Amino acid sequence: MTDSRAEQSADTPWRRRLHTIVFEADTPAGRWFDAVLLVLIVVSLVVVMLETVPSMPAAWRRGLRAAEWVLTAVFTVEYLLRLLIVRRPLVYAGSFFGLVDMLAILPTWVSLIFPGAQALLAVRVLRLLRIFRVFKLARYLSEARVIGDALRASSRKIAVFLFTVSTVVVVVGALMYLIEGPANGFTSIPVSMYWAVVTLTTVGYGDISPATGLGQAVASLVMILGYGIIAVPTGIVTAELANAGRKLEAQQINTQVCAHCGADDHRSDSKFCRHCGAALH
């Protein structure tokens, strides 16, 4: 009862208003906020990329560095604002977008101690995923849910498949080490396993190749097996995608985000959160 009263007292009108603007895109203010945020993210990515150009003049580099700090300050204020207006800051901080938002500002601050860490700011590109919310691409949100369901449904089959492939890699690696030996570049079983992985995946770097007739015969079998191996996970996921697509009902999804737990992708007619049951504003 105490926690419920505390949450109700914390759910003030200004906080609900800010939550709608910052976390949702159903209102003009929310769409403008997200649109401006996406523009700043794109600008920050361009700044980070240009900073890595060796021929960049020193004056430009100083300007880019200043712009990076200004953008980092804006993103820091935005991140703190998000923590302030949600009911459970730690839940949001541990969510996917919460971690992305934190990683988007952390490298610049860390660079004060470890120079060069700001190059990790490329993680800001993940924040562009919010574009789905800005333009309300509900169809894509539904399709993304289908892909997620299909991957979860096929996870055990793929795990068995990967275990089988790993077993084949170990066996083939040990076999090629015995057949070819260090004289032909197969200096150890791990190196031979590396060759087996490269060959099975049909990448074929060519840095190591069998020289004996028996080794070439085994390599030919591994190459042919590689084509079959590539087709297996594709077929598994495709079948699950078809099943998930048949099960998915046509739904209208909006951009509402639960202020209690941070869940999104709610139906337009939803009054309560699909995850925790809290009322949606």
DSSP state of 125: G
Token pair listed for 166: 């790993």
- 174 pLDDT band, cuts 50/70/90, is very high
Token pair listed for 67: 């712009």
Q: pTM score, two decimals?
A: 0.52
Q: Which residue has the tokens 């600008």?
A: 43
Token pair listed for 125: 């590109």
Choice between 208 and 135, residue whose per-residue pLDDT is larger: 208
pLDDT over 80 (residue 187) = yes
Of 7-11, 121-125, 180-184, 202-206, least confident by mean pLDDT is 7-11
Tell me: the pLDDT tens digits for 223-261? Answer: 998 887 777 777 777 776 667 666 555 455 555 667 666
Measure CA of the first residue to CA of the last residue in the chain; give whole Å. Answer: 21
Of 79-93, 97-111, 134-148, 203-217, least confident by mean pLDDT is 134-148
